[in-house]
Structure 1
C-alpha cells in the first residue's frame, strides 16, 4: 500500500494523539469521519499502523532508575538469551544489533540494588555495559514522509 499525502496527514494526527476521534482527524485533514476510519483500517491491515500504546511514566510507577544495558553474548549464549529476555519484567525495549555488542536493552529498575541483581542475571549470558538514563532528549518522535 502506498502512503499518499492524506494518509500521511492522518498518520501525523495519530502519532501526536492516537486517542483523538476520527471526526476530529477528519476535520483536521478535510475528509469525513467514515473516510478517516476506512483509511485507518486499510493502513492497519497493510501493516503501516502496527499498534497503539499507552506510555506509562516509570518514575510515577515507582521505578527510580532507567538504564540502557548492552550485552556482548558469550559463544553459544545468544539464542538462549533471546528467549530469556522476553521473561524479564525490567526490559521495556530490547534490540538485536550489529557491532561489538549483540543486544541493547532499555530497562526500568527500582533502585541500585535492583540494578545489581538484574545484572547478576545477565552476566551468565555475556559481558554487560550499563548507562543510566538521565533524561529524554527526543521522545516518540513521529515518523514523517520521506522527502
Structure 2
C-alpha cells in the first residue's frame, strides 16, 4: 500500500464525500485519540480512503480485535481505486450498524467492483469494522 495523495489540504477526499481530504477522512487518519469516526458510515469511508492511500496501520487499528488479521497484504502493483458508492447505512442497535457499499478499482486494464455489506460495532465509544459479506 502506497500513498497517492498530492496535497491533503487541497485534494478532494478519496471517499467521494465532496469534502477536502484534510477536513474529511484525513482528520480520522491523523490518529488524534479524541477524533474518531462518529458513526459506521464515516468509519467505512475513512477505511476506503485508507486503502486508496495505503494506510495499513489505520486499517488494522480500526478493525475489531476479534476479527482483525495479523497483517495486511500490500495492494498488487498497478491497482488503482476509482471510487466509492455508499448504498446503505443502517443502525441496527445503539452499538451496531451495517454499511453496504460498492468500491471500484482497476488492475491490469480490467475494472473490478467490490460490493460488500459490512458489519460495525461500537465499543467504549469507538466504532470498529467487524466483517462483511461480499456480493457477487
Q: So what's the TM-score if we normalise by structure 1?
A: 0.23
Say which structure is richer in helix. 1
Flag the structure with higher strand content: 2
TM-score normalised according to structure 2 size: 0.25
